[in-house]
A = this chain, B = another copy of it.
Amino acid sequence: METVQTYIKANQKRFLDELIEFLRIPSISADTKYQGDVLKAATWLSTELKRIGMDGVEIIPTKGHPVVFAEKKVSEHVPTILVYGHYDVQPVDPLNLWNSPPFEPVVKDEKIWARGSCDDKGQVYMHVKALEAMIAEGQLTCNVKVIFEGEEEVGSVNLGDFLEANKKKLSADVVLVSDTSIIANDVPSITTGLRGLSYVEVEVTGPNKDLHSGVYGGAVANPCNVLCTMIAGMHDENRHITIPGFYEDVDVVPDAERRMMNMAPFNEEDYKQALNVNALLGEKGYTTLERTSIRPTLDVNGIWGGYIGEGAKTVLPSKAFAKISMRLVPHQDSDKITELFSNYFKSVAPPYVQVKVTALHGGQPAVTPTDTIEYKAASAAMKKSFGKEPLPQRSGGSIPIVALFESILGIKTVLLGFGLDSDDIHSPNEHFGLFNFYKGIATIPYYYMFYAEMNKK
């Protein structure tokens, strides 16, 4: 194992240069304009997997963007790890807020700045480089299979079918994913809970064409105003979501667990200052840490309608739109919530408009137990590399595939991520600490080591 760590140290500079090359590919899955670039990223990754000595490297087509597969079998007597990650990235707008172009990576202040640097190309590449080191030094202690998909940022829409069609090929003992955060560089943590997601787009139509607001204003319902009223009505004065049945399946977290959760290092003043807000807003009766982990939410991710160009246009628009997402907690069901939302939105639509709801994507919430070999190996690996035992932590984000792996492949997932919440993933100026990138590469081989050892016992 010493030789693996020595190999990693000796090659750090090259690893970073390669990651920069990978980050230059604008693999935005949400926008069809970038379809060729998404494929280019898959091809780049598969070439790299071949180069480091992985076997059976394939770019497997789906109905959307392909999955990159590779494997390396060392023995029938050691467990098999299925590594999952995604090589697609979020869109980049608002582009004008980036300090440097999102696909021209810059290393500055001990961080690498680029779209995808943390989410998830940087974290994917930690696995590739850890595998390279283990293979090069003859220290791969587990069998390994990797699948890197290109549709995580659009809801992994074809991954379910892919898993169904490749159950045997993907058989493994654990899924290892690095697409989450640690609490701080000196407070390692392992994500044990993820929120699910229901993401919809709504369209409100008033008159059949844009009207002159002077001629018609005051007599004809304005769909922008109507949409605002409908959205405003989705929360009550306690910031509870008003959709009937929304909280029905929400897991009530025991007080003891809530107390534990609130012991994590958190300073509300620092948090507000970092975001430059004078006050926070959230569901009554819960702390910020609880609001972002064990409670469901509803947010407008985008809204538009009418004239949004320069200057003034006195239009009473025909249509208004919003993208709305709900973060879900165990045991809410994504499909059920989408349906509840849709029924609710239609039921509260006033007679002077017509509404349409389109489900964009969804994912199930998940919680992982901490008393398994899989979790314990991760904890031991982090303790070894960070010199500190990691805290179990529920995250507010969603990785819908965790529920898929369990339901289709019957395999539990370990979320061994190395990002920070402050990495601005999904935002302008996404970045990833060099500390985190290298610490990830260093930790992963320990996971293989401990997981193999614990399986022997």
Contacts and interface: CB of A to CB of B under 8 A. Distances in A.
Interface in A197-255: 197, 199, 201, 206-222, 224-225, 227-229, 231-235
B427 A210 contact: yes
Interface in A316-331: 316-317, 320-323, 325, 327
Q: Most chain-B Cβ atoms within 10 A of its Cβ — which of A218, A306, A424, A426? A: A218
A365 to B, nearest CB: 11
B396 A300 contact: no
A297 interface: yes
Interface stretch (A88-96, A165-173, A256-264): A88-96
B295 A396 contact: no
Contact of A426 (B279, B308, B315): B315
A232 B224 contact: no
Contacts of A396: 214-218
A2 interface: no
Interface string A402-427: 00000000000000000001001111
Q: Most chain-B Cβ atoms within 10 A of its Cβ — which of A30, A291, A303, A360? A: A303
Nearest to A311: B30
A280 to B, nearest CB: 6
B207 A276 contact: yes
Interface in A85-103: 90-91, 93-94, 97
A282 interface: yes
Given A91-B307, A301-B317, A312-B301, A213 B277 contact: no
Counted per complex, copies of this chain come to 2
A398 B213 CA distance: 10
Contacts of A222: 299-300
A184 to B, nearest CB: 14
A314 interface: yes
Contacts of A277: 206-208, 220-221, 352-353
A389 interface: no
Contacts of A310: 30-32
A369 to B, nearest CB: 22
A10 interface: no
A43 to B, nearest CB: 22
Contact of A303 (B32, B228, B291): B228
A292 interface: yes
Contacts of A397: 212, 214-215
A116 to B, nearest CB: 14
A195 interface: yes
A55 to B, nearest CB: 35
A227 B300 CA distance: 11
Interface of A: 29-32, 90-91, 93-94, 97, 153-155, 181, 195, 197, 199, 201, 206-222, 224-225, 227-229, 231-235, 275-283, 288, 291-292, 295-297, 299-317, 320-323, 325, 327, 350-353, 360-361, 395-398, 421, 424-429
19 contacts: A30-B309, A155-B312, A181-B215, A210-B427, A214-B395, A215-B425, A218-B327, A219-B281, A219-B291, A220-B282, A224-B303, A228-B229, A280-B352, A281-B350, A281-B352, A301-B313, A302-B309, A304-B305, A313-B426
A-B pairs, top 8 by smallest CB distance, nearest first, are: A214-B397, A30-B311, A302-B306, A224-B300, A218-B297, A232-B232, A221-B281, A208-B276
